[in-house]
Amino acid sequence: LLSYLLGLGWFLALPLPPLAPRTYMSENAMGSTMVEETFGMGERALSYAREFAGHKKKAGGMPVAWLERTMWSLGLEVHRQPFTLTLPFPDETRERYMVKGTNVYGILRAPRASSTEALVLSVPCSPGTQNNQALGLMLALAAHFRGQIYWAKDIIFLVNEHDLLGMEAWLEAYHDINLTEVQSSGALGRAGAIQAAISLELSSDVVTSLDVGVEGLNGQLPNLDLLNLFHAFCQKNGLLCTIQGKLPRPEGDSLPAYAHSLQTLLLMVLAQASGRPRGDHGLFLRYRIEAITLRGINSFRQYKYDLTTLGKTLEGMFRKLNNLLERLHQSYFFYLLPSLSRFVSIGLYMPAFGFLILVLILKISFRGRGAPSNSTHSMIPTHPPAHPLDLQTPLGPPLTPISLQEPRPGLLALVPPLVVCHAAGLALYFLPVLGQHVATQHFPVSEAEAVVLTLIAIYVAGMALPHNAHRALSGGGSDRGWMVLKLVALLYLALQLGCLALLNFSLGFILAATMVPAPQPCRVLLGVLLVLGTPAVTLLLTIFLQRELEEAPAGLGEGWQLFLGALGEGLLQHHLYGSILYPFLALGAHPCWLLLWNVLCWK
């Protein structure tokens, strides 16, 4: 109990200044913002944006021909990349199944180098009027950069269609690999090895703030120096910058300042745990390319900034990135951000997870020595259901006497529960997508609804599986067999959470906090806690928590719809981009939870 409370307390203390020092620039080549930004083409950017909007409306989509002509007129080396992709099931939120699109990009060759390194400025071509101003600003920056002679790296100006799908198609073709089922054609022009990338999203002529997105696929984060560079130039040009949509932390060590920092930190933890990229930059990170997404926000605030100010900020960032002699590596890759001016390093947030995992380690050590347990530190009872004649002891719960003639279960006794639990996990992973057509033939549902409903049905059915199959073996239903299975379940859970926390701390911490609860002496209450600690319920609760932190509370009906959408989106993220969240939950966390349920239902 003490270890569990220490873990939660340590996490809640992370936003405090002793654990969250101020950020600082570690890369010498970017240690100063002393560059003179000369960008002054804000009106030209607005002209490009209006022209682009007109051609996009006329073409009913991305105006590929107009983009090529415009980039050629700016002196860029222009290429196009058509791509196609068939989704595993229809994406009803965006109304697409067979996706066809074209990426257009222009390369500004470096006059002072031999095309060995490159930087990327990307803009997604979104439907409607979204991102028109971002594309106009990108073209104006390309025209301005074309007249400078100090570039030592190629600069790629990329316009990708269908957001993440187009970005994934372009990155796979650029690096000549095929991680997904995207099919692309056309001669692909290449620049140097990409060192850094910035994705721009802007849908208004003026902005009140710039919000930065850092979370990438599977919770990857860019080098902290790239965030520090963005923050430094925003301060230099007087731009208001935010993260997770939250304003900078109030000065001082007051309670409101702590609450604000904790709120921002929790939003980042939830975003990272989801494994979803918070922008097109998220797919660059898997290729060891440091990248962020910048979003222009136009709210009710009084102070507004035009495209000239935004252009100067981007120009300064690209000029500093142009000075890099090697990839960004001096600063942190594992961190949490309570604000843009403060960070929590991996050495300071890992103890919070360590205290939670220590609960399982202590239980494993007690079980390994065969010592009786006086309290329950995990989501399963410390002893099988007691018989009324069991001997009562003054030091703890009743101990079930074990006869010396009781048969010793071997490893064979573990086979039935392990097979049943992992078979349920395999069914959860494969059947929703493979059985969608069968479900649509027999029930009045669409393919996407069939996938989600099948997923839920298999998940719930796992609790009703024959979890007493071990009793068919000699000695399999004994108390000693129960203890062996519990030891295996605890080891399995500890190893899973430990490995996961190294890859995605936020997801590992959330699962540890829910699957390793405080002691409960009542077996019925323990069963209720076990059900509430299942990964599906954890996902539902985190959805409500995120909406509360965003100050947009969701009702039960809306929360349930968001939950169903998150299930379908998680499946799509795995099949389209290789997200590990769904396979981990289906093949790892869910079978492990079923083992704990098996132990609870031993007799």
Q: What is the CATH number of the domain that holds 281?
A: 3.40.630.10
Considering its fold, how many domains does the chain have in total?
Answer: 2
Note the pLDDT of residue 374: 40
Same domain, 421 and 549: yes
Note the pLDDT of residue 325: 87
pLDDT digits (tens, 9 = 90+) for 479-522: 777 788 888 899 999 999 999 999 999 999 999 999 986 556 67
Same domain, 323 and 363: no
Is residue 195 a part of any domain in this protein? yes
Same domain, 247 and 113: yes
Same domain, 305 and 447: no
Burial (0-12, 13-18, 19+ Cβ within 10 Å), 400: middle
Q: How many CB atoms lie within 10 A of CB 396?
A: 14
Note the pLDDT of residue 411: 67
Q: Which amino acid is at 553?
A: P
Q: How many whole angstroms separate alpha carbon 272 and alpha carbon 298?
A: 25
Reported as half-sphere exposure (CB side, CA atoms, 13 A), residue 89 has a value of 27
Same domain, 323 and 359: no
Residue with tokens 């009703």, as numbered in its chain: 464
Q: Tell which residue, 538, 593, 510, 551, has the closest CA to residue 11.
A: 510
Is residue 11 a part of any domain in this protein? no
Name every residue whose Cβ is closer than 8 Å to that of residue 101 and which is 6 or more positions away in sequence.
62, 82, 83, 84, 161, 162, 165, 166, 169
- pTM greater than 0.75: yes
SS3 assignment for 523-579: HHHHHHHHHHCCHHHHHHHHHHHHHHHCCCCCCHHHHHHHHHHHHHHHHHHHHHHCC
Is residue 4 a part of any domain in this protein? no
Same domain, 148 and 76: yes
Q: How many whole angstroms separate alpha carbon 26 and alpha carbon 518?
A: 41
Name every residue whose Cβ is closer than 8 Å to that of residue 249 and which is 6 or more positions away in sequence.
257, 260, 261, 264, 338, 339, 341, 342
Question: Which residues of the chain fall below pLDDT 70?
Answer: 32-33, 93-95, 186-187, 367-411, 466-478, 517-521, 603
Is residue 386 a part of any domain in this protein? no
Same domain, 419 and 273: no
Q: How many whole angstroms separate alpha carbon 160 and alpha carbon 170?
A: 8
Residues in the chain: 603
Q: How many whole angstroms separate alpha carbon 266 and alpha carbon 544?
A: 13
Same domain, 177 and 270: yes
Q: How many CB atoms lie within 10 A of CB 488?
A: 18
Is residue 377 a part of any domain in this protein? no
Is residue 498 a part of any domain in this protein? yes
Name every residue whose Cβ is closer than 8 Å to that of residue 522 and which is 6 or more positions away in sequence.
none
Is residue 312 a part of any domain in this protein? yes
What phi-psi label fits residue 219: left (phi over 0), alpha (psi between -120 and 50 degrees) or beta? left
The token duo for 386 is 């007691």
Domain that holds residue 122: 43-327
Note the pLDDT of residue 302: 76
Same domain, 360 and 287: no
Residue with tokens 């928590």, as numbered in its chain: 545
Would strands 193-201 and 183-184 be described as parallel, antiparallel, or unpaired? unpaired
Note the pLDDT of residue 392: 39
Note the pLDDT of residue 470: 58
Task: Taking each helix axis as running N to C, give the angle between helix 346-369 and helix 479-503, from 0 to 180 degrees, rounded to the nearest 10.
Answer: 170
Same domain, 54 and 137: yes
DSSP annotation of 281 reads G
Is residue 16 a part of any domain in this protein? no
Same domain, 267 and 359: no
Same domain, 428 and 304: no
